[in-house]
Amino acid sequence: MYFISYSSKDEKIIKPYLYKLKFRLGKENIWFAPERIKESEYYASEIIKALDNSKGVILFLSKNSLNSEHVKREINYTVSNGIKIYPLRIDDVELVNEWKYHLGVVQWLDLNEDNFKIFLDNLLKIEIKLDQNEIEDFCKIHFEKMGYKVYRESEFLVVNKKNIGFKVLPIFKEYLDIKDFRALEAELFWKYKDRILKKDLLEEFFKKYNFKENPTFKQKQLFLQQMKYNKNKKENIIFYLYIKNSPIYYKTEFKIGFVNEQNYKKKEKLSQIFLNSTFYPAWWGVGRDDLEKIKDEKYKNITNTAIEAFNDLKHQNNKKRESYNGRLAESLCEVFFRNNGYLVQKFGIENVLGNTLKLIDMYNENLKNKEDLFKYMTLPDLLIMKIDKENKLQENFLVDVKFRHYLSKEDFFKDEEIKNQAKKYQNFWGNIYLFIVADFGREIEIYFDKVENILENKPKTLKEYNFKEEEIKKNYYYVENIWGRI
Protein backbone atom coordinates (compact mmCIF):
# COMPACT_ATOMS: atom_id res chain seq x y z
CA MET A 1 0.00 0.00 0.00
CA TYR A 2 1.20 3.54 -0.79
CA PHE A 3 0.35 6.52 1.40
CA ILE A 4 -0.68 9.67 -0.50
CA SER A 5 0.41 12.94 1.14
CA TYR A 6 -1.01 16.20 -0.24
CA SER A 7 -2.66 19.50 0.63
CA SER A 8 -6.44 19.62 0.25
CA LYS A 9 -5.96 22.97 -1.51
CA ASP A 10 -4.38 21.02 -4.41
CA GLU A 11 -7.22 18.47 -4.63
CA LYS A 12 -8.53 19.64 -8.01
CA ILE A 13 -5.04 19.51 -9.57
CA ILE A 14 -4.15 16.05 -8.29
CA LYS A 15 -7.59 14.44 -8.77
CA PRO A 16 -6.87 12.96 -12.26
CA TYR A 17 -3.56 11.58 -10.98
CA LEU A 18 -5.28 9.98 -7.97
CA TYR A 19 -7.69 8.30 -10.38
CA LYS A 20 -4.74 6.88 -12.38
CA LEU A 21 -3.06 5.68 -9.20
CA LYS A 22 -6.27 3.86 -8.25
CA PHE A 23 -6.57 2.30 -11.68
CA ARG A 24 -2.93 1.22 -12.08
CA LEU A 25 -2.10 0.21 -8.49
CA GLY A 26 -5.58 -0.88 -7.41
CA LYS A 27 -7.86 1.03 -5.06
CA GLU A 28 -6.86 -1.22 -2.16
CA ASN A 29 -3.17 -0.29 -2.62
CA ILE A 30 -3.40 3.46 -1.95
CA TRP A 31 -4.38 5.34 1.23
CA PHE A 32 -5.09 9.02 1.73
CA ALA A 33 -6.96 11.16 4.25
CA PRO A 34 -8.55 14.50 3.32
CA GLU A 35 -7.21 17.30 5.52
CA ARG A 36 -10.69 18.26 6.72
CA ILE A 37 -10.92 15.09 8.83
CA LYS A 38 -7.37 14.97 10.13
CA GLU A 39 -8.09 16.95 13.30
CA SER A 40 -9.70 14.03 15.15
CA GLU A 41 -7.57 11.86 17.40
CA TYR A 42 -8.92 8.75 15.68
CA TYR A 43 -7.65 9.81 12.26
CA ALA A 44 -4.25 10.80 13.70
CA SER A 45 -3.78 7.21 14.89
CA GLU A 46 -5.14 5.90 11.58
CA ILE A 47 -2.55 7.97 9.68
CA ILE A 48 0.30 6.58 11.80
CA LYS A 49 -1.04 3.06 11.24
CA ALA A 50 -1.30 3.66 7.47
CA LEU A 51 2.24 5.09 7.29
CA ASP A 52 3.63 2.13 9.26
CA ASN A 53 1.99 -0.30 6.83
CA SER A 54 2.95 1.61 3.67
CA LYS A 55 5.63 0.69 1.14
CA GLY A 56 6.27 4.35 0.44
CA VAL A 57 4.79 7.85 0.52
CA ILE A 58 3.78 9.55 -2.72
CA LEU A 59 4.06 13.27 -1.92
CA PHE A 60 2.35 15.83 -4.16
CA LEU A 61 4.82 18.63 -3.53
CA SER A 62 3.60 22.23 -3.84
CA LYS A 63 3.66 25.60 -2.10
CA ASN A 64 0.43 24.57 -0.38
CA SER A 65 1.83 21.26 0.88
CA LEU A 66 4.96 22.99 2.25
CA ASN A 67 2.69 25.23 4.34
CA SER A 68 0.43 22.39 5.50
CA GLU A 69 1.03 21.34 9.12
CA HIS A 70 -0.57 17.97 8.41
CA VAL A 71 1.74 17.23 5.48
CA LYS A 72 4.76 18.35 7.55
CA ARG A 73 3.85 15.91 10.32
CA GLU A 74 3.36 13.08 7.80
CA ILE A 75 6.76 13.71 6.17
CA ASN A 76 8.55 14.11 9.53
CA TYR A 77 7.20 10.72 10.60
CA THR A 78 8.06 9.21 7.19
CA VAL A 79 11.69 10.38 7.33
CA SER A 80 12.12 9.41 11.00
CA ASN A 81 10.97 5.86 10.25
CA GLY A 82 12.97 5.35 7.07
CA ILE A 83 9.92 5.11 4.78
CA LYS A 84 10.69 5.86 1.12
CA ILE A 85 9.34 9.14 -0.32
CA TYR A 86 8.34 9.72 -3.97
CA PRO A 87 7.93 13.53 -4.42
CA LEU A 88 5.91 14.74 -7.42
CA ARG A 89 6.23 18.53 -7.80
CA ILE A 90 3.06 20.24 -9.05
CA ASP A 91 4.23 23.89 -9.11
CA ASP A 92 7.49 25.90 -8.97
CA VAL A 93 7.92 25.44 -5.23
CA GLU A 94 11.40 25.89 -3.73
CA LEU A 95 12.50 23.82 -0.75
CA VAL A 96 13.15 25.75 2.47
CA ASN A 97 14.22 24.99 6.06
CA GLU A 98 13.46 21.41 7.18
CA TRP A 99 12.06 20.52 3.74
CA LYS A 100 15.52 21.04 2.25
CA TYR A 101 16.88 18.65 4.90
CA HIS A 102 14.16 16.02 4.31
CA LEU A 103 13.95 16.13 0.51
CA GLY A 104 17.25 17.69 -0.57
CA VAL A 105 18.77 14.33 -1.48
CA VAL A 106 15.55 12.78 -2.85
CA GLN A 107 15.00 12.89 -6.59
CA TRP A 108 11.62 14.38 -7.53
CA LEU A 109 9.65 14.58 -10.75
CA ASP A 110 7.87 17.62 -12.16
CA LEU A 111 4.28 16.46 -12.49
CA ASN A 112 2.95 16.16 -16.04
CA GLU A 113 1.30 13.35 -18.04
CA ASP A 114 4.56 11.95 -19.49
CA ASN A 115 6.52 12.05 -16.23
CA PHE A 116 3.63 10.53 -14.29
CA LYS A 117 3.43 7.62 -16.74
CA ILE A 118 7.19 7.01 -16.31
CA PHE A 119 6.78 7.21 -12.53
CA LEU A 120 3.92 4.67 -12.53
CA ASP A 121 5.75 2.31 -14.87
CA ASN A 122 8.83 2.38 -12.61
CA LEU A 123 6.68 1.86 -9.53
CA LEU A 124 4.99 -1.13 -11.14
CA LYS A 125 8.36 -2.65 -12.02
CA ILE A 126 8.78 -3.03 -8.28
CA GLU A 127 5.13 -3.72 -7.56
CA ILE A 128 3.81 -6.43 -9.88
CA LYS A 129 1.61 -8.27 -7.40
CA LEU A 130 -0.35 -11.30 -8.58
CA ASP A 131 -2.17 -14.17 -6.94
CA GLN A 132 -2.11 -17.92 -7.59
CA ASN A 133 -5.20 -17.88 -9.82
CA GLU A 134 -3.80 -15.05 -12.00
CA ILE A 135 -0.36 -16.39 -12.87
CA GLU A 136 -1.34 -18.48 -15.92
CA ASP A 137 -3.38 -15.63 -17.46
CA PHE A 138 -0.54 -13.21 -16.75
CA CYS A 139 2.07 -15.53 -18.30
CA LYS A 140 -0.10 -16.03 -21.41
CA ILE A 141 -0.62 -12.28 -21.88
CA HIS A 142 3.10 -11.68 -21.28
CA PHE A 143 4.22 -13.97 -24.13
CA GLU A 144 1.46 -12.69 -26.42
CA LYS A 145 2.80 -9.17 -25.81
CA MET A 146 6.21 -10.46 -26.93
CA GLY A 147 4.67 -11.51 -30.27
CA TYR A 148 4.05 -15.22 -29.58
CA LYS A 149 0.98 -17.27 -30.39
CA VAL A 150 0.00 -19.06 -27.18
CA TYR A 151 -2.28 -22.00 -26.46
CA ARG A 152 -2.67 -24.37 -23.55
CA GLU A 153 -1.57 -28.01 -23.59
CA SER A 154 -2.21 -29.83 -20.32
CA GLU A 155 -0.39 -27.89 -17.58
CA PHE A 156 1.88 -26.09 -20.09
CA LEU A 157 1.51 -23.07 -22.33
CA VAL A 158 2.81 -23.72 -25.85
CA VAL A 159 4.32 -20.58 -27.40
CA ASN A 160 5.40 -20.13 -31.04
CA LYS A 161 6.85 -17.29 -33.11
CA LYS A 162 8.48 -17.77 -36.52
CA ASN A 163 11.19 -20.39 -35.94
CA ILE A 164 11.07 -20.18 -32.14
CA GLY A 165 8.89 -22.55 -30.14
CA PHE A 166 8.91 -23.98 -26.62
CA LYS A 167 6.68 -24.87 -23.67
CA VAL A 168 6.20 -22.67 -20.62
CA LEU A 169 5.23 -23.84 -17.14
CA PRO A 170 3.87 -20.98 -14.97
CA ILE A 171 4.79 -21.46 -11.28
CA PHE A 172 3.51 -19.36 -8.37
CA LYS A 173 5.28 -19.03 -5.01
CA GLU A 174 4.28 -16.77 -2.11
CA TYR A 175 7.93 -16.60 -1.04
CA LEU A 176 11.17 -18.35 -1.94
CA ASP A 177 14.39 -18.02 0.00
CA ILE A 178 17.63 -17.66 -1.96
CA LYS A 179 18.84 -21.12 -0.93
CA ASP A 180 15.59 -22.68 -2.20
CA PHE A 181 16.16 -21.82 -5.88
CA ARG A 182 18.51 -24.75 -6.45
CA ALA A 183 16.14 -27.09 -4.58
CA LEU A 184 13.20 -26.00 -6.75
CA GLU A 185 15.29 -26.48 -9.89
CA ALA A 186 16.13 -30.06 -8.80
CA GLU A 187 12.44 -30.82 -8.11
CA LEU A 188 11.37 -29.48 -11.51
CA PHE A 189 14.08 -31.33 -13.47
CA TRP A 190 13.18 -34.56 -11.70
CA LYS A 191 9.40 -34.14 -12.16
CA TYR A 192 9.68 -33.45 -15.92
CA LYS A 193 12.70 -35.70 -16.62
CA ASP A 194 10.80 -37.80 -19.19
CA ARG A 195 10.02 -34.67 -21.22
CA ILE A 196 13.48 -33.16 -20.88
CA LEU A 197 15.81 -36.13 -21.41
CA LYS A 198 15.97 -38.99 -23.88
CA LYS A 199 15.03 -42.47 -22.64
CA ASP A 200 18.47 -44.05 -23.14
CA LEU A 201 20.13 -41.28 -21.10
CA LEU A 202 17.73 -41.82 -18.22
CA GLU A 203 18.19 -45.60 -18.30
CA GLU A 204 21.97 -45.18 -18.28
CA PHE A 205 21.79 -42.81 -15.31
CA PHE A 206 19.43 -45.05 -13.30
CA LYS A 207 21.66 -48.04 -13.92
CA LYS A 208 24.82 -46.18 -12.92
CA TYR A 209 23.44 -44.72 -9.69
CA ASN A 210 20.94 -47.46 -8.81
CA PHE A 211 18.05 -44.97 -8.58
CA LYS A 212 14.57 -45.89 -7.39
CA GLU A 213 11.23 -44.28 -8.34
CA ASN A 214 11.06 -42.15 -5.17
CA PRO A 215 14.56 -40.73 -4.71
CA THR A 216 15.69 -38.69 -1.72
CA PHE A 217 16.29 -34.95 -1.96
CA LYS A 218 20.06 -35.53 -2.18
CA GLN A 219 19.55 -37.97 -5.05
CA LYS A 220 17.47 -35.39 -6.92
CA GLN A 221 20.29 -32.89 -6.43
CA LEU A 222 22.73 -35.46 -7.85
CA PHE A 223 20.42 -36.03 -10.81
CA LEU A 224 20.34 -32.27 -11.47
CA GLN A 225 24.13 -31.97 -11.32
CA GLN A 226 24.66 -34.86 -13.73
CA MET A 227 21.94 -34.01 -16.25
CA LYS A 228 21.58 -30.23 -16.10
CA TYR A 229 24.14 -29.43 -18.79
CA ASN A 230 23.69 -32.54 -20.92
CA LYS A 231 23.24 -31.37 -24.51
CA ASN A 232 21.10 -34.32 -25.64
CA LYS A 233 17.79 -32.93 -24.45
CA LYS A 234 14.41 -33.64 -26.04
CA GLU A 235 12.24 -30.70 -25.16
CA ASN A 236 12.83 -27.07 -24.23
CA ILE A 237 10.69 -26.12 -21.23
CA ILE A 238 10.77 -22.65 -19.70
CA PHE A 239 9.99 -22.66 -15.99
CA TYR A 240 8.28 -19.30 -15.46
CA LEU A 241 8.60 -18.63 -11.73
CA TYR A 242 6.63 -15.78 -10.15
CA ILE A 243 7.42 -14.97 -6.50
CA LYS A 244 4.86 -12.76 -4.77
CA ASN A 245 7.24 -11.65 -1.99
CA SER A 246 10.71 -11.25 -3.47
CA PRO A 247 13.73 -13.00 -1.95
CA ILE A 248 16.32 -10.90 -0.14
CA TYR A 249 20.03 -11.72 -0.37
CA TYR A 250 21.15 -11.54 3.22
CA LYS A 251 24.27 -13.79 3.40
CA THR A 252 27.30 -12.08 1.87
CA GLU A 253 29.22 -15.36 1.67
CA PHE A 254 26.48 -17.03 -0.40
CA LYS A 255 26.51 -16.50 -4.17
CA ILE A 256 24.55 -17.70 -7.17
CA GLY A 257 25.52 -16.94 -10.75
CA PHE A 258 22.50 -14.84 -11.61
CA VAL A 259 22.95 -12.38 -8.73
CA ASN A 260 24.28 -9.04 -9.90
CA GLU A 261 27.32 -8.26 -7.70
CA GLN A 262 26.37 -4.63 -7.12
CA ASN A 263 22.76 -5.45 -6.21
CA TYR A 264 23.99 -8.35 -4.12
CA LYS A 265 26.15 -6.10 -1.95
CA LYS A 266 23.29 -3.63 -1.53
CA LYS A 267 21.03 -6.52 -0.40
CA GLU A 268 18.40 -5.38 -2.91
CA LYS A 269 15.26 -7.33 -3.59
CA LEU A 270 15.45 -9.01 -6.97
CA SER A 271 12.70 -9.02 -9.54
CA GLN A 272 9.68 -11.18 -8.91
CA ILE A 273 9.77 -13.11 -12.20
CA PHE A 274 12.53 -15.66 -12.85
CA LEU A 275 12.97 -17.92 -15.87
CA ASN A 276 14.86 -21.18 -16.19
CA SER A 277 15.22 -22.95 -19.55
CA THR A 278 15.95 -26.67 -19.70
CA PHE A 279 18.19 -25.98 -22.71
CA TYR A 280 20.14 -23.21 -20.90
CA PRO A 281 19.55 -24.08 -17.22
CA ALA A 282 20.02 -21.18 -14.83
CA TRP A 283 17.65 -18.81 -13.04
CA TRP A 284 17.38 -15.44 -14.80
CA GLY A 285 15.59 -12.45 -13.27
CA VAL A 286 13.30 -10.46 -15.57
CA GLY A 287 14.30 -6.80 -15.36
CA ARG A 288 17.64 -7.58 -13.69
CA ASP A 289 19.54 -9.88 -16.03
CA ASP A 290 20.38 -9.49 -19.72
CA LEU A 291 17.76 -11.96 -20.93
CA GLU A 292 17.16 -10.02 -24.12
CA LYS A 293 20.76 -10.60 -25.28
CA ILE A 294 20.24 -14.36 -25.67
CA LYS A 295 21.07 -15.12 -29.33
CA ASP A 296 17.80 -16.68 -30.50
CA GLU A 297 15.85 -13.59 -29.33
CA LYS A 298 13.59 -15.82 -27.27
CA TYR A 299 13.16 -13.09 -24.63
CA LYS A 300 13.10 -9.99 -26.83
CA ASN A 301 11.32 -7.07 -25.11
CA ILE A 302 10.51 -9.23 -22.08
CA THR A 303 10.88 -6.51 -19.38
CA ASN A 304 8.61 -3.85 -20.87
CA THR A 305 5.99 -6.40 -21.88
CA ALA A 306 5.85 -7.67 -18.27
CA ILE A 307 4.59 -4.23 -17.22
CA GLU A 308 2.13 -4.11 -20.15
CA ALA A 309 0.87 -7.62 -19.34
CA PHE A 310 0.28 -6.64 -15.72
CA ASN A 311 -1.69 -3.55 -16.79
CA ASP A 312 -3.77 -5.62 -19.24
CA LEU A 313 -4.53 -8.24 -16.60
CA LYS A 314 -5.41 -5.52 -14.09
CA HIS A 315 -7.78 -3.98 -16.65
CA GLN A 316 -9.42 -7.36 -17.33
CA ASN A 317 -9.80 -7.98 -13.61
CA ASN A 318 -11.27 -4.51 -13.11
CA LYS A 319 -13.90 -5.32 -15.75
CA LYS A 320 -14.70 -8.62 -14.03
CA ARG A 321 -14.82 -6.83 -10.68
CA GLU A 322 -17.17 -4.16 -12.04
CA SER A 323 -19.50 -6.88 -13.35
CA TYR A 324 -19.37 -8.63 -9.98
CA ASN A 325 -19.98 -5.35 -8.13
CA GLY A 326 -23.00 -4.66 -10.36
CA ARG A 327 -24.53 -8.05 -9.49
CA LEU A 328 -23.89 -7.45 -5.80
CA ALA A 329 -25.53 -4.01 -5.95
CA GLU A 330 -28.54 -5.55 -7.73
CA SER A 331 -28.94 -8.14 -4.96
CA LEU A 332 -28.77 -5.43 -2.26
CA CYS A 333 -31.40 -3.38 -4.10
CA GLU A 334 -33.65 -6.45 -4.42
CA VAL A 335 -33.36 -7.33 -0.71
CA PHE A 336 -33.93 -3.69 0.32
CA PHE A 337 -37.25 -3.39 -1.53
CA ARG A 338 -38.45 -6.81 -0.36
CA ASN A 339 -37.74 -5.81 3.25
CA ASN A 340 -39.83 -2.67 2.63
CA GLY A 341 -42.89 -4.76 1.64
CA TYR A 342 -42.51 -4.72 -2.16
CA LEU A 343 -42.67 -7.61 -4.60
CA VAL A 344 -39.56 -7.80 -6.77
CA GLN A 345 -39.35 -9.47 -10.17
CA LYS A 346 -35.96 -9.81 -11.83
CA PHE A 347 -36.48 -8.28 -15.23
CA GLY A 348 -32.95 -8.17 -16.67
CA ILE A 349 -31.80 -9.43 -20.06
CA GLU A 350 -30.58 -12.75 -18.64
CA ASN A 351 -34.15 -13.51 -17.49
CA VAL A 352 -35.76 -12.85 -20.88
CA LEU A 353 -32.99 -14.05 -23.18
CA GLY A 354 -35.13 -16.92 -24.46
CA ASN A 355 -37.94 -14.55 -25.47
CA THR A 356 -35.47 -12.17 -27.10
CA LEU A 357 -34.00 -15.00 -29.20
CA LYS A 358 -37.52 -15.97 -30.31
CA LEU A 359 -38.12 -12.37 -31.37
CA ILE A 360 -34.86 -12.34 -33.33
CA ASP A 361 -35.92 -15.56 -35.02
CA MET A 362 -39.35 -14.16 -35.80
CA TYR A 363 -38.01 -10.99 -37.41
CA ASN A 364 -34.99 -12.60 -39.05
CA GLU A 365 -36.31 -12.37 -42.61
CA ASN A 366 -36.73 -8.63 -42.88
CA LEU A 367 -35.93 -7.20 -39.43
CA LYS A 368 -38.48 -4.40 -39.84
CA ASN A 369 -38.91 -4.23 -36.09
CA LYS A 370 -35.36 -3.47 -35.09
CA GLU A 371 -36.57 -0.87 -32.59
CA ASP A 372 -38.60 -3.52 -30.76
CA LEU A 373 -35.59 -5.81 -30.62
CA PHE A 374 -33.32 -3.09 -29.31
CA LYS A 375 -35.89 -2.20 -26.69
CA TYR A 376 -35.86 -5.76 -25.36
CA MET A 377 -32.08 -5.77 -25.36
CA THR A 378 -32.12 -2.74 -22.98
CA LEU A 379 -34.42 -4.14 -20.32
CA PRO A 380 -33.92 -2.72 -16.81
CA ASP A 381 -32.87 -5.08 -14.02
CA LEU A 382 -35.93 -5.16 -11.76
CA LEU A 383 -39.73 -4.77 -11.82
CA ILE A 384 -40.89 -3.61 -8.36
CA MET A 385 -44.58 -3.79 -7.30
CA LYS A 386 -46.67 -2.87 -4.26
CA ILE A 387 -49.76 -5.03 -3.59
CA ASP A 388 -52.46 -4.18 -1.02
CA LYS A 389 -54.28 -6.64 1.29
CA GLU A 390 -56.87 -7.35 -1.43
CA ASN A 391 -54.09 -8.24 -3.87
CA LYS A 392 -54.68 -5.11 -5.92
CA LEU A 393 -51.71 -3.41 -7.54
CA GLN A 394 -51.01 -0.09 -5.79
CA GLU A 395 -47.86 0.93 -7.63
CA ASN A 396 -45.17 -0.49 -9.87
CA PHE A 397 -41.97 0.80 -11.40
CA LEU A 398 -38.90 -0.44 -13.28
CA VAL A 399 -35.43 -0.09 -11.74
CA ASP A 400 -31.99 -0.46 -13.24
CA VAL A 401 -29.07 -0.90 -10.82
CA LYS A 402 -25.58 0.58 -11.33
CA PHE A 403 -22.33 0.45 -9.35
CA ARG A 404 -19.65 3.08 -10.02
CA HIS A 405 -16.34 4.31 -8.54
CA TYR A 406 -15.76 8.10 -8.38
CA LEU A 407 -13.08 10.35 -6.92
CA SER A 408 -15.68 12.90 -5.79
CA LYS A 409 -19.39 13.75 -5.92
CA GLU A 410 -18.53 16.36 -8.51
CA ASP A 411 -17.29 13.55 -10.78
CA PHE A 412 -20.58 11.70 -10.28
CA PHE A 413 -22.59 14.69 -11.50
CA LYS A 414 -20.27 15.00 -14.52
CA ASP A 415 -20.57 11.32 -15.48
CA GLU A 416 -21.77 11.36 -19.10
CA GLU A 417 -21.91 7.58 -19.29
CA ILE A 418 -24.60 7.44 -16.56
CA LYS A 419 -26.51 10.21 -18.32
CA ASN A 420 -26.36 8.29 -21.63
CA GLN A 421 -27.70 5.21 -19.83
CA ALA A 422 -30.50 7.34 -18.35
CA LYS A 423 -31.43 8.71 -21.80
CA LYS A 424 -31.48 5.19 -23.25
CA TYR A 425 -33.88 3.95 -20.60
CA GLN A 426 -36.04 7.06 -20.86
CA ASN A 427 -36.28 6.59 -24.62
CA PHE A 428 -37.46 2.96 -24.46
CA TRP A 429 -39.12 2.56 -21.07
CA GLY A 430 -40.24 6.03 -20.00
CA ASN A 431 -39.40 7.56 -16.66
CA ILE A 432 -37.93 4.51 -14.89
CA TYR A 433 -35.76 4.64 -11.75
CA LEU A 434 -32.01 4.20 -11.38
CA PHE A 435 -30.56 2.73 -8.17
CA ILE A 436 -26.90 3.85 -8.16
CA VAL A 437 -24.33 2.71 -5.60
CA ALA A 438 -21.61 5.38 -5.87
CA ASP A 439 -18.25 4.68 -4.21
CA PHE A 440 -16.36 7.95 -3.52
CA GLY A 441 -13.45 6.33 -1.69
CA ARG A 442 -14.04 7.57 1.86
CA GLU A 443 -17.81 7.72 1.46
CA ILE A 444 -20.40 5.55 -0.25
CA GLU A 445 -23.71 7.02 -1.33
CA ILE A 446 -26.83 5.37 -2.75
CA TYR A 447 -28.88 7.42 -5.22
CA PHE A 448 -32.41 6.39 -6.13
CA ASP A 449 -34.47 8.52 -8.49
CA LYS A 450 -36.27 8.81 -11.82
CA VAL A 451 -34.06 9.18 -14.88
CA GLU A 452 -35.39 12.69 -15.59
CA ASN A 453 -34.01 13.90 -12.21
CA ILE A 454 -30.70 12.16 -12.84
CA LEU A 455 -30.45 13.88 -16.24
CA GLU A 456 -31.06 17.23 -14.48
CA ASN A 457 -28.38 16.47 -11.85
CA LYS A 458 -31.01 16.42 -9.07
CA PRO A 459 -31.01 12.81 -7.89
CA LYS A 460 -32.30 11.98 -4.42
CA THR A 461 -30.37 9.73 -2.07
CA LEU A 462 -32.04 6.70 -0.53
CA LYS A 463 -32.04 8.51 2.84
CA GLU A 464 -34.49 11.13 1.48
CA TYR A 465 -37.35 8.63 0.99
CA ASN A 466 -39.97 7.35 3.43
CA PHE A 467 -38.68 3.80 3.41
CA LYS A 468 -38.19 2.01 6.72
CA GLU A 469 -35.42 3.86 8.52
CA GLU A 470 -33.84 0.68 9.92
CA GLU A 471 -33.77 -0.84 6.41
CA ILE A 472 -32.06 2.27 4.99
CA LYS A 473 -29.40 2.10 7.74
CA LYS A 474 -28.96 -1.63 7.21
CA ASN A 475 -28.51 -1.18 3.45
CA TYR A 476 -25.84 1.51 3.92
CA TYR A 477 -24.14 -0.69 6.52
CA TYR A 478 -23.98 -3.62 4.08
CA VAL A 479 -22.74 -1.40 1.25
CA GLU A 480 -19.94 0.11 3.35
CA ASN A 481 -18.89 -3.30 4.69
CA ILE A 482 -18.83 -4.92 1.23
CA TRP A 483 -16.92 -2.23 -0.63
CA GLY A 484 -15.11 -0.64 2.30
CA ARG A 485 -13.22 2.61 2.25
CA ILE A 486 -9.71 3.58 1.12
For the segment 448-479, what is each residue's pLDDT rounded down to a tens digit? Answer: 999 999 999 889 999 999 899 999 999 888 88
pLDDT reported for residue 359: 55
Per-residue confidence band for 486, with pLDDT thresholds at 50, 70 and 90: very low
**Is the per-residue pLDDT at 124 higher than 80?**
no
d(CA 297, CA 157): 19
Percent of the chain whose predicted confidence (pLDDT) is above 70: 76
Is-contact 437 476, C-beta < 8 A? Answer: no
pLDDT reported for residue 319: 67
The better pLDDT of the pair 168, 54 is held by 168
**Is the per-residue pLDDT at 273 higher than 60?**
yes
Flag the least confident range among 64-78, 212-226, 308-322: 308-322
**Is the per-residue pLDDT at 146 higher than 70?**
yes
Per-residue confidence band for 380, with pLDDT thresholds at 50, 70 and 90: confident
pLDDT reported for residue 448: 94
Per-residue confidence band for 26, with pLDDT thresholds at 50, 70 and 90: low
Flag the least confident range among 24-28, 102-106, 242-246, 367-371: 367-371
The better pLDDT of the pair 327, 238 is held by 238
User: Which part of the chain has CATH 3.40.50.10140?
Assistant: 2-126
- pTM (2 decimals)? 0.55
Q: At a CB cut-off of 8 Å and minimum separation 6, what does 332 contact?
A: 437, 475, 478, 479, 482
pLDDT reported for residue 339: 92
The CATH homologous superfamily for domain 2-126 is Toll/interleukin-1 receptor homology (TIR) domain (3.40.50.10140)
Mean pLDDT (the chain) is 78
Per-residue confidence band for 50, with pLDDT thresholds at 50, 70 and 90: confident
The better pLDDT of the pair 484, 193 is held by 193
Single-letter residue type at 39 = E
**Is the per-residue pLDDT at 485 higher than 50?**
no
**Is the per-residue pLDDT at 311 higher than 90?**
no
Per-residue confidence band for 257, with pLDDT thresholds at 50, 70 and 90: very low
Residue 344: strand pairing partners: 384
**Is the per-residue pLDDT at 36 higher than 50?**
no
SS3 labels along the chain: CEEEECCHHHHHHHHHHHHHHHHHHCHHHEECCCHHHCCCHHHHHHHHHHHHCCCEEEEEECHHHHCCHHHHHHHHHHHHCCCCEEEEECCCCCCCHHHHHHHCCCCCEECCHHHHHHHHHHHHHHCCCCCHHHHHHHHHHHHHHCCCEEEEECCEEEEEECCEEEEEEEEEEEECCCCHHHHHHHHHHHHCHHHHECHHHHHHHHHHHCCCCCCCHHHHHHHHHHHCCCCCECCCEEEEEEEEECCECCCCCCCCCCCCHHHHHHCCECCCEEEEECCCCCCEECCCCCHHHCCCCCCCCHHHHHHHHHHHHHHHHHHHHHHHHHHHHHHHHHHHHHHCCCEEEECCHHHCHHHHHHHHHHCCCCCCCHHHHHHHCCCCCEEEEEECCCCCEEEEEEEEEEEEECCCHHHHHCCHHHHHHHHHHHHHHCCCEEEEEEECCCCEEEEEEEHHHHHCCCCCEHHHCCCCHHHHHHHHHHHHHHHCCC
Per-residue confidence band for 258, with pLDDT thresholds at 50, 70 and 90: very low
**Is the per-residue pLDDT at 149 higher than 90?**
yes
Q: What is the mean pLDDT of residues 189-205?
A: 87
What does 352-390 look like in DSSP terms, one character per residue?
Answer: SHHHHHHHHHHTTTT-TTHHHHHHHTT--SEEEEEE-TT
Flag the least confident range among 51-55, 147-151, 387-391: 51-55
